[in-house]
Structure 1
Amino acid sequence: MSRPFLKMNGLGNDFVVVDARTAPFDPSQIEVRKICDRTSGVGCDQLVSLERSTKGDARVRFWNADGEEVGACGNASRCVGWLLMEGAGTDAAVLDTRGGLLRAARAGDHRVSVDMGEPRLAWDQIPLAEEMDTKGIELQVGPIDAPILHTPGCVSMGNPHVVFFVPDAEAAPVREVGPMIEHHYLFPEGVNVGFAQVKARDHIRLKVWERGAGLTKACGTGACAALVACARRGLTDRKATLELDGGDLVIEWRESDGHVIMTGPLEIEFTGELP
């Protein structure tokens, strides 16, 4: 039996979305990898499914391209939020994810804001393998007396992130360092690796090596984590434009309730059927 899907993207971070609210969909790791494969499959950064939920408008599941199911994906949440709002004819939707309930709202034409909730900042919430101050953990890359990267911040947005502060994101060794840090022993569940260049109090240039997906054009939770990490260090204000390879996101870490709000565009690419 074939299964319809919708191909969408948020700033080039692309997804295959399957509606499983009427028929079960529980792919194996091998099946996920086949769907995400850009040579022989549909090709995408993540696979997403919608299921019935008693807590929200839909239960949303996310799988990375390597087949691992993960708790959150910011750009996919904006895409799915838009789908649910379009289907119901509303201006808001609640997503029931493994990382918690996320609330989406219209922010313009094909533009959505998602309340990503409060960032988790305790070392055992990231999680780390040992207790550390997550504002700047004891981790460096390069010679002990002259490291090229050091003292990154750590944030969980329903998935783990480590954020290095760099003078030039374009020159950052993303492909070289990303895979090494992704599987570092300090991160028992693996980690998304951000390289953040602060250009102004309200402007951050960011590149992200995503856990299980590699270098992508944009990472929504990575943008949220970078803003929080920079603001905690006093490098930026609590609201900034995050400049990613695929475009810009506006991220705000609200003082009123501590929630992180992500706003940005989305696109529908095409529809198809999985074999």
Structure 2
Amino acid sequence: MPLRFSKMHGAGNDFVIIDRRAADVPLAAERVARMSDRHRGIGFDQLITIDAPRSAGAQAAYSILNADGSDAAQCGNGARCVAAWLLRDGGVPSGDFVLDSPAGRIVASVDAHGIGIDMGVPDFSPPAVGLAREQADPYRFTLNGETIEAGAVSMGNPHAVIEVPDVAQADVVRIGPALQRDAAFSHSCNVGFAQLLGRDRIALRVYERGVGETLACGSGACAAVAVLARRGLLDEQVAVQLPGGTLHLRWAGEGTPIHMAGPAEFVFEGEFLS
């Protein structure tokens, strides 16, 4: 049976959106991987299903599958695309509304920078990140005899953030997967490479768990801002320049949620036939 979908992206971080509120849709890992193939399928970083709400007061819920078919706990750009899809569908109010994400409730809205969402409170505790270590900043990891220093934080999913002098020269394709495979992380991690450009701007590249390097990563942008701001390097409002575009973040500090806004664009509608 043909599978209806919407193709969307947020700053180049691209998604297939499937509405399964009315009926279940079988999405085995092998089928998702076929769909994600950029030559023989549709091509995307994540597949996101829109589901019936799981908590009182929520307008809808969503679930996330990586390109390899594995589950993902959070995706900031994906959440913004879900919000934009629901707004176009007419099923949510034009003001603030609540969505049930795999990592908990989030609040979505429209603001000056596009679709904005409350990404929750960054959690720096080692168990939240999947680290069996004493809390530190930075943590030190030995990869093939080389010492790598990284901050670590959970945005509902685990992130390691490496500060680099120049993201263009960062060895993302070597260090990213090596750190993801490190036994220190019990559930692997997303790896961000962040360059400080000023107190209100950073450049970022992200090697995502289950995806590889992506044009943008919303939760990765939040993680990078949280790690660098906690070190006293950033102001409350920060523009995050990613290869696919710019996201705008606001964080008042520890114990408060990070707000992220940016573009959420429709690309095309279609049917997957196989």
Q: What TM-score do the two structures reach when normalised by structure 1?
A: 0.93
Aligned match of 1:102: 106
Moved more, 52-61 or 16-25: 52-61
Aligned match of 1:182: 180
| Residues 84 and 93 in structure 1, CA contact (< 8 A), matched pair in contact too | no
| Residues 106 and 119 in structure 2, CA contact (< 8 A), matched pair in contact too | yes
Matching of residue 38 in structure 1 with residue 38 in structure 2: yes
Distance change >3 Å, CA 35–CA 272, structure 1 → 2: same
Quote how far apart the aligned CAs of 1:153 are: 0.3
Quote how far apart the aligned CAs of 1:142 are: 6.6
> For the residues of structure 2 that align with 1:151 and 1:3, how far apart are their CA atoms?
44
Identify unmatched segments of 5+ residues in structure 2: none
Instruction: Report the secondary structure of 1:227's partner residue.
Output: helix
Per-residue deviation, residues 19-57 of structure 1 (Å, max 9, x unmatched): 001110241111111111111111101000011114221
Residues paired across the two proteins, number: 269
Per-residue deviation, residues 70-121 of structure 1 (Å, max 9, x unmatched): 1110101001011222323523321111100111101148x11100010111
Over aligned residue pairs, what C-alpha RMSD do you find? Answer: 1.6
Identify unmatched segments of 5+ residues in structure 1: none
> For the residues of structure 2 that align with 1:134 and 1:57, how far apart are their CA atoms?
38
* Aligned residue type for 1:83: W
Per-residue deviation, residues 148-198 of structure 1 (Å, max 9, x unmatched): xx3210011111100001111110000111111111111111110000010
Distance change >3 Å, CA 209–CA 234, structure 1 → 2: same
Q: What TM-score do the two structures reach when normalised by structure 2?
A: 0.93
Quote how far apart the aligned CAs of 1:141 are: 4.7
Aligned match of 1:62: 64
Matching of residue 133 in structure 1 with residue 135 in structure 2: yes
Give percent identity, aligned residues only.
38
Instruction: Report the secondary structure of 2:125's partner residue.
Output: coil
| Residues 179 and 209 in structure 1, CA contact (< 8 A), matched pair in contact too | yes
Instruction: Report the secondary structure of 2:126's partner residue.
Output: coil
* Aligned residue type for 1:61: S
Distance change >3 Å, CA 134–CA 220, structure 1 → 2: farther
Counterpart selection for 1:263 from 254, 258, 261: 261
* Aligned residue type for 1:75: N
Quote how far apart the aligned CAs of 1:254 are: 2.4
> For the residues of structure 1 that align with 2:16 and 2:162, how far apart are their CA atoms?
30
Quote how far apart the aligned CAs of 1:229 are: 0.4
Aligned match of 2:12: 12
Aligned match of 1:245: 243
| Residues 65 and 72 in structure 2, CA contact (< 8 A), matched pair in contact too | yes
> For the residues of structure 2 that align with 1:224 and 1:40, how far apart are their CA atoms?
33
Aligned match of 1:113: 116
> For the residues of structure 1 that align with 2:222 and 2:254, how far apart are their CA atoms?
17
